[in-house]
Amino acid sequence: MKLQTISLPVLCSSLCLAYSTSTDFDENLQEAWGQDWPFSGIQTFAHLPHENCLVNKDINFDIGVIGVPFDTAVTFWPGARFGPQAIRTASQRQSSLRGFNFRAVIKPYQSWAKIMDCGDVPVTPMDNALGLQIMDAAFENLLDRNSTASQSSLPPRFATLGGDHSIILPVLRQLYKVYGPISVIHFDSHLDTWAPFKYPSFWHSAQSEFTHGSMFWMAKQEGLLSENSNVHAGLRTRLSGTGWDDYEEDNSMGFHRIESDEILKSGVDAVALKILRIVPHDRPVYISVDIDVLDPSAAPGTGTVEVGGMLTRELIHLIRSLEDLPLVGADVVEVSPAYDHADITALAASQVVFELITNMVKHGPIDPAIIHANKEAANSVVFENSEHQAVLNRS
Ligand SMILES: [Mn+2]
């Protein structure tokens, strides 16, 4: 018969997948089973490899995704403890196979950087003092290791999934030990620099100072922020009192303010230029995205919703415009999936995380000269708190 004259290799070249034996699969396990569809597999962020980085300090990587499911410092709707899970689920159509960022013209998950999903910090919902202690210890642990690509013993950088916004305080505390004071670019509809006594209650304690609206006030008291190169973008909250008290207090925290209306009137490119004029290009920068900076039509699933915000495309464009800055960390916080019937908030957050990681990869490893210059500059500022001077000098 004619078919018998055809050799087996020729047949197999066209039909080998259909006729492969189990032995063939055994030899090519990675090829056969190592890739997931967007809807299959354990849900790590963007299908990235997962390790519990907190329990293994020998794991080296360049960029880590870390969840902080903590939401007991909120002043209105709780629920952001479910943010990390929701953002991971919403990120499943991101993968190394389909991860080319056309806006940045790179493929961040398959570039020079080793990127991991480090899991979650198991932070207690029972006791905020203990919770803060756990988060401090977790970020100290995470930063106490070398990144893979760095020649200078610098730690990996993290994209943190909140959690309510208070989680940035322990992050800034630990980043300060490595980098010195940080310039924060803060996308939010709220100031988050409120002094704790601004809250309408007779009852106060030291612990009640730690909230998702006062953590930048605390960060300022602790000397963690840059002197005058921090920016709020997207503001539109109502203010307390009858005048500009909140803004005047915010001035003393070293923040510049860009209101949501300015983004509408001036356009995103003008706003990006304004941010780039305020934030130095040769100092450590942190980008914090409270998802409530987006209009509720784009992100309804958050705890303190404010109407009249920007759309996701505008936020993405702004983040892309900041890609030259030396980003030493970033977060997306306040995603509360229970208030969102369609998961669009978590979807927006997962894309924002993708853009923030893209910025870190595209910029490349942090130049140690930046840290040196930053600490020199900080040393020339006389801190009221000598404890912080001691930390700077030690690290
Ligand atoms: Mn906030």
> Cα of 159 to ligand 1 centre, how many Å?
16
Domain ranges of the chain: 47-394
pLDDT at 388: 60
62 labelled as ligand-binding? no
Architecture of domain 47-394: 3-Layer(aba) Sandwich (3.40)
Does the pTM of the predicted model rise above 0.75? yes
pLDDT at 385: 55
> Cα of 246 to ligand 1 centre, how many Å?
15
The residue assigned the tokens 């005058």 is: 228
Contacts of 170 (CB under 8 A, 6+ apart): 132, 135, 136, 138, 139
> Cα of 115 to ligand 1 centre, how many Å?
26
pLDDT at 1: 40
Rounded-to-integer distance, Cα 129 and Cα 206, Å: 10
Residues of the chain with pLDDT under 70: 1-24, 150-152, 381-395
Question: What tens digit of pLDDT does each residue of 34-51 get?
Answer: 888 999 999 999 999 999
pLDDT at 190: 98
- Residues near ion ligand 1 (Cβ under 5 Å): 165, 188, 192, 290
Rounded-to-integer distance, Cα 336 and Cα 72, Å: 13
Query: In this structure, what token pair is assigned to residue 386?
Result: 């000598």
> Cα of 190 to ligand 1 centre, how many Å?
6
> Cα of 304 to ligand 1 centre, how many Å?
9
190 labelled as ligand-binding? yes
Task: Pinpoint the alpha helices (H) of the chain.
Answer: 8-19, 22-27, 29-33, 83-90, 128-143, 168-179, 215-221, 245-251, 260-266, 268-278, 312-321, 344-363, 368-379, 386-394
pLDDT at 305: 97
Question: What tens digit of pLDDT does each residue of 346-357 get?
Answer: 999 999 999 999
246 labelled as ligand-binding? no
